[in-house]
């Protein structure tokens, strides 16, 4: 076993041209996987926002949309649970996309369906760079989003019933 005095370490570092531990150099950069996870959190926040906005504008759609919104809230909780908050970084908690809502209930449902389809595509594109457990989570959420597309498509096909539900109904 080697023993050294506290004064020997600086001398050793100076002689070996080592910089020593970079304790005060700041937090390490985020890994690509962590950045992707944080983007997934933001994407769920954006979907939750548009669902809330649609239900506020077209209350007649609440029975269809409330269960889907609850699933998005569960997705968000599962994604956030996977984030180890990086030093100096905060887990996203703000919406970054606030699109204008379509002028009709049918248009708003179509807008939601397109957002869900885009979410499925993005989640599937994240599988390759993810750890096995994170890839499983992304695939699970993508599957759920795909069922949302089907639910919204079915509701859109009931267009005659939607024409009577304008803003606020």
The CATH number covering residue 109 comes to 1.20.1260.10
Residue 114 has a CB neighbour count (10 Å cut-off) of 12
Question: CA-to-CA distance for 30 and 43, rounded, in angstroms?
Answer: 18
Alpha helical stretches, state H, 58-167:
62-82, 105-125, 132-156, 159-162
Counting the structural domains of the chain, the total is 1
CB 41 within 8 A of CB 79: yes
Its domain, for residue 96, covers 31-158
CB 142 within 8 A of CB 120: yes
Using alpha carbons, list the distances in angstroms from residue 133 to 109, 138, 144.
Answer: 32, 9, 17
Report the percent of the chain where pLDDT is more than 70: 75
Query: Average model confidence (pLDDT) for the chain?
Result: 84
CB 20 within 8 A of CB 13: yes
Look at residue 80 in the predicted model and tell me its pLDDT. Answer: 92
Report the percent of the chain where pLDDT is more than 90: 58
Structure tokens at 143: 């599957």
**Does residue 167 lie within any of the structural domains?**
no
Look at residue 1 in the predicted model and tell me its pLDDT. Answer: 47
pTM listed for this prediction: 0.77
Reported as a single tens digit per residue, the pLDDT across 57-102 is 999 999 999 999 999 999 999 999 998 876 666 777 778 778 888 8
**Does residue 143 lie within any of the structural domains?**
yes
Reported as a single tens digit per residue, the pLDDT across 148-164 is 999 999 999 986 565 44
**Does residue 11 lie within any of the structural domains?**
no
Using alpha carbons, list the distances in angstroms from residue 68 to 99, 116, 140, 147, 148.
Answer: 19, 11, 15, 9, 7
């Amino acid at each position: 076993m080697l023993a050294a005095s506290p004064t020997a370490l600086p001398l050793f570092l100076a002689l070996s041209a080592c910089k020593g531990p970079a304790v005060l150099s700041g937090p390490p950069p985020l890994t690509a996987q962590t950045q992707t996870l944080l983007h997934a959190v933001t994407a769920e926040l954006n979907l939750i926002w548009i669902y809330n906005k649609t239900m506020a504008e077209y209350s007649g759609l609440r029975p269809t949309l409330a269960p889907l919104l609850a699933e998005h809230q569960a997705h968000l909780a599962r994604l956030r649970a996977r984030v180890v908050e990086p030093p100096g970084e905060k887990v996203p908690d703000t919406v970054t996309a606030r699109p204008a809502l379509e002028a009709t209930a049918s248009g708003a449902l179509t807008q939601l369906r397109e957002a869900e389809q885009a979410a499925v595509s993005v989640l599937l594109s994240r599988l390759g760079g993810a750890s096995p457990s994170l890839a499983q989570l992304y695939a699970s959420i993508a599957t759920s989003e795909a069922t949302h597309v089907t639910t919204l498509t079915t509701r859109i096909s009931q267009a005659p019933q939607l024409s009577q539900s304008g803003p606020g109904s």
